[in-house]
Structure 1
Amino acid sequence: MTVNTPALCFRSKNILAPMVRVGTLPMRLLALDFGADIVYCEELIDIKMVQCKRVVNEVLETVDFVAPDERVVFRTCERERDCVVFQMVRNQEQLHF
């Protein structure tokens, strides 16, 4: 599957830098409200994302990635489509496919 998305330009932009436990959707939307051009989500481990189920949340108008224990691991919405940086890292020791 090929997805064509515009590349983010970082020159002369207001950016919400990556921060632990602060890169949630409400904070990212608040930063956009206050003039951020680009916002970062929290760093997520790839194995957690592989285990998630993608769920469209019609009540909140979001797309949620939900872990097997029903915890929302990542949530996004249309409003941040072209300005969110999704950070994913790999823990080599935990991969046993």
Structure 2
Amino acid sequence: MILNSLSLCYHNKLILAPMVRVGTLPMRLLALDYGADIVYCEELIDLKMIQCKRVVNEVLSTVDFVAPDDRVVFRTCEREQNRVVFQM
């Protein structure tokens, strides 16, 4: 069987399930530290994301999506690359 290397395979994986107000970057990284293979971010609204500006945060080594009111709507980092599910 050939698998697409860009898709997530859920077979025999430990997954941090989607939870309300618990899918922030610190929780996702903690779950990865404790052995999770796949983590979910909190569910975000498409209109909110389309208004965001993508900002590289050099201090935290993250990529932030910042709303017009300067609130970080979504934050990710290299450690969770290919292992985070973005829910919109």
Structure 1's consecutive aligned runs of 4 or more residues displaced over 2 angstroms after TM superposition are: none
Count of equivalent residues: 84
Instruction: Give the counterpart letter for 2:85 in structure 1.
Output: V
User: Could you say which residue in structure 1 is the equivalent of 2:15?
Assistant: 15
Q: Deviations over 1:34-79 (max 9, x none)?
A: 0000000000000000000000000000000000000000000011
User: Could you say which residue in structure 2 is the equivalent of 1:37?
Assistant: 37
The normalised TM-score by structure 1 is 0.85
Q: 2: distance between equivalents of 1:20 and 1:58?
A: 28
Q: 1: distance between equivalents of 2:81 and 2:23?
A: 15
Gaps in structure 1 of 5+ consecutive residues: 89-97
Describe the SS at the equivalent of 2:56.
Answer: strand
Gaps in structure 2 of 5+ consecutive residues: none
More strand by share: 1
User: Could you say which residue in structure 2 is the equivalent of 1:6?
Assistant: 6
The normalised TM-score by structure 2 is 0.94
Report the alpha carbon displacement of residue 30 of structure 1 after superposing the two structures with TM: 0.1
Which aligned pairs between 1:1-97 and structure 2 lie closer than 5 A? 6-88=6-88
Instruction: Give the counterpart letter for 2:48 in structure 1.
Output: K
Q: What RMSD over aligned residues (CA atoms) do the two structures have, in Å?
A: 0.8
